[in-house]
């Protein structure tokens, strides 16, 4: 999440106005024709409403809070914040995952040995995704892959020493392989596979029987995040409940900026 462009400073009233960039300007080499052509870049002003994340209220009874040796209310508040962070990260990585395999949003299948109805991820698969990013003219720096934990296992089984280096984060920066920095997250998006076609399953939707998990790659300059308000509701010393009741709201959104520079490696089904 720290690698994405942060547009939080442009949020007003839990809404974000972001201009979608036009085409890149042409570069002229050894030009002899003047004046150089002037082209106006047309940007669309898109208003994005930040998603609203809400936690269910938690009740902390005063007799229990007194009885425990730790601050139960503070523990509950910390738990709410951690749950919100996880939910936000799940929504973001799902948004960064491509909806389809295109030139600008490559999606490939794993090609390794069969295990439990799927094919394992290999280093060759990562190299294949690298080539697809290269073909799409995605900058060579600031590329990252977020691996599903089972894909982490696949790479460990293939080459323990190499993967040990990949996960060696120093000064907040992950080790690079094939131009990608590596992270891992458990709650990754899934794709349904039917007749060879891939469809990204909607966020929080029921997972189809034929769905397979994916690892997601992105170029940091093509994905964004924006934080809005976070607010804690509290009702202290409720006389009826003999308790304090707390709950949280958080506004947040994460999206690809132009629909390019994102990719995925989906676990292939075995026959």
Give residue 176's pLDDT. 78
Beta strands in the chain (DSSP E): 5-6, 11-12, 15-20, 44-49, 51-54, 58-61, 107-109, 114-115, 118-119, 143-147, 176-177, 180-184, 190-194, 197-200, 211-219, 223-238, 243-256, 262-266
User: pLDDT class for 69, splitting at 50, 70, 90?
Assistant: very low
Distance of alpha carbon 263 from alpha carbon 103, whole angstroms: 10
pLDDT tens digit sequence for 23-43:
556 654 545 555 555 655 555
3-state helix, strand, coil in the chain (%, to 5): 25, 35, 40
User: Is the pLDDT confidence value at 190 over 90?
Assistant: yes
Across 184-191, average pLDDT: 95
Residue 86: domain span: 1-271
Maximum mean pLDDT: which of 114-128, 168-182, 232-246? 114-128
CATH code of the domain containing 37:
3.90.1690
Tally the domains of the chain.
1
Please indicate whether residue 12 or residue 130 has the higher confidence score (pLDDT): 130
- The chain-wide mean pLDDT, for the chain, equals 85
DSSP state of 121: P
Among 36-45, 182-191, 248-257, 261-270, the least confident range: 36-45
Tell how strand 5-6 and strand 143-147 pair up.
Answer: unpaired
Tell me what pLDDT residue 22 has.
47
């Amino acid at each position: 999440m720290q690698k994405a462009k942060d547009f939080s400073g442009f949020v007003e009233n839990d809404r974000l106005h972001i201009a979608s960039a036009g085409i890149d300007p042409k570069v002229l080499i050894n030009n002899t024709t003047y004046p150089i052509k002037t082209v106006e870049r047309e940007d669309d002003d898109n208003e994005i409403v930040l998603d609203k994340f809400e936690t269910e209220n938690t009740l902390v009874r005063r007799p229990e809070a007194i009885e425990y040796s730790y601050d139960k209310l503070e523990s509950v508040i910390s738990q709410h914040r951690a749950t919100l962070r996880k939910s936000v990260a799940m929504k973001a990585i799902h948004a960064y995952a491509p909806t389809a395999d295109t030139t600008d949003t490559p999606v490939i299948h794993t090609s390794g040995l069969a295990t439990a109805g799927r094919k394992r991820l290999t280093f060759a698969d990562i190299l294949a995704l690298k080539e697809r990013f290269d073909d799409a003219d995605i900058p060579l720096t600031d590329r990252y892959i977020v691996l599903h934990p089972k894909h982490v296992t696949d790479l460990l089984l293939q080459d323990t020493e190499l993967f040990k280096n990949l996960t060696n984060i120093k000064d907040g920066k992950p080790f690079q392989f094939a131009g990608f920095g590596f992270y891992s997250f458990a709650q990754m998006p899934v794709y349904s596979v039917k007749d060879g076609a891939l469809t990204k399953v909607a966020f929080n939707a029921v997972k189809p029987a034929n769905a397979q998990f994916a690892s997601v790659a992105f170029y940091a300059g093509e994905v964004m995040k924006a934080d809005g308000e976070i607010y804690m509701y509290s009702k202290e010393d409720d006389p009826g409940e003999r308790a304090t009741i707390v709950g949280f709201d958080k506004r947040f959104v994460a999206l690809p900026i132009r629909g390019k520079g994102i990719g995925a490696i989906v676990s292939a089904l075995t026959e």
